[in-house]
């Protein structure tokens, strides 16, 4: 498949996600599945497997499919590392076994897709531009200029390999990301960038404040307050 056709398909998917996102713009409340996505992400990033076990069970009860949760745990490998991601996956497997033993049949959900025969860097770049709402032009700066290899990995692996897999839409993936970065702490620059992406994708301030309230309850006040402060700055800047 030609690169032009692939990028056209991605552009259409982005438009569809933006239109779908408008359904939540007028609401000040995250839905039950979104709340579960946030909680699962936070406990995975924290490494709290007991808390994660309960969150996974509650997520399935809330209507998340098996593949949606699998996809979230795969996505988290890029933000809190493979060890946390693998621990989360093993915990999820145990939760599913326990639910099966109780006679609970959880929905499998849709399978991830993968676009092949494509310039991975250019595709990842287009996905990133759609997330931020800004075209990436001009010479590389900052980390991308200092270590070009990391820019390539970000575009090809994160924004192409992961973001184009489907199952979770871009809005859900950003909830996963912001919850993980807030829980990790010490990554204010990256967290600010992803809060900006959430605002660009149609989340409003009250919804993101609710995200941080969940982090406060599940993880801790200091982590939540750091996120709220960045959100205030982003909101004041007119994002």
Domain count, the chain: 1
Confidence of residue 6 (pLDDT cuts 50, 70, 90): very low
- Tell me the whole-structure pTM to 2 decimals: 0.84
pLDDT, average across residues 101-117: 88
Considering only 34-38, 143-147, 177-181, which range has the smallest mean pLDDT? Answer: 143-147
pLDDT at 23 over 90: no
Q: What pLDDT score was predicted for residue 204?
A: 92
pLDDT at 143 over 50: yes
Q: What pLDDT score was predicted for residue 235?
A: 75
CATH of the domain at 137: 1.20.1290.10
Q: What pLDDT score was predicted for residue 62?
A: 94
**DSSP letter string over the chain?**
--HHHHHHHHHHHHHHHHHHHHHHHT-SS--HHHHHHHHHHHHHHHT-HHHHHHHHHHHHHTT--HHHHHHHHHHTHHHHHHHHHHHHHHHHHHHHHHHHHTT------PPP----SS-HHHHHHHHHHHHHT----SS--HHHHH-HHHHHHIIIIIIIIITTS-SS-HHHHHHHHHHHHHHH-S-HHHHHHHHHHHHHTT--HHHHHHHHHHHHHHT-HHHHHHHHHHHHHHHHTT-
Percent of the chain whose predicted confidence (pLDDT) is above 70: 86
Q: What pLDDT score was predicted for residue 27?
A: 65
Domain that holds residue 163: 3-236
pLDDT, average across residues 127-146: 88
Higher pLDDT, 43 or 119: 43
């Amino acid at each position: 498949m030609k690169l032009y056709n692939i990028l056209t398909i991605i552009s259409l998917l982005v438009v569809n996600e933006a239109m779908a996102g408008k359904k939540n713009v007028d609401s000040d409340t995250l839905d039950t599945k979104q709340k579960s996505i946030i909680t699962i992400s936070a406990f995975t990033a924290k490494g709290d497997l007991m808390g994660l076990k309960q969150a996974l069970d509650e997520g399935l009860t809330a209507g998340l499919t098996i593949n949606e949760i699998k996809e979230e745990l795969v996505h988290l490998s890029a933000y809190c590392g493979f060890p946390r991601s693998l621990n989360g996956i093993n915990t999820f497997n145990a939760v599913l076994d326990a639910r099966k033993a109780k006679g609970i049949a959880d929905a499998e959900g849709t399978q991830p897709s993968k676009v092949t025969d494509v310039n991975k860097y250019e595709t990842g770049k287009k996905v990133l531009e759609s997330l931020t709402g800004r075209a990436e032009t001009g010479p590389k700066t900052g980390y991308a200029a200092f270590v070009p290899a990391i820019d390539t990995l970000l575009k090809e692996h994160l924004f192409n390999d992961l973001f184009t897999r489907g199952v979770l839409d871009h809005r859900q993936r950003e909830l996963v990301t912001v919850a993980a970065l807030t829980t990790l702490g010490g990554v204010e620059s990256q967290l600010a960038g992803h809060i900006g992406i959430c605002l660009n994708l149609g989340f409003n301030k009250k919804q993101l404040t609710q995200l941080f309230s969940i982090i406060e309850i599940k993880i801790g006040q200091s982590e939540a307050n750091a996120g709220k402060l960045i959100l205030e700055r982003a909101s004041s800047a007119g994002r």
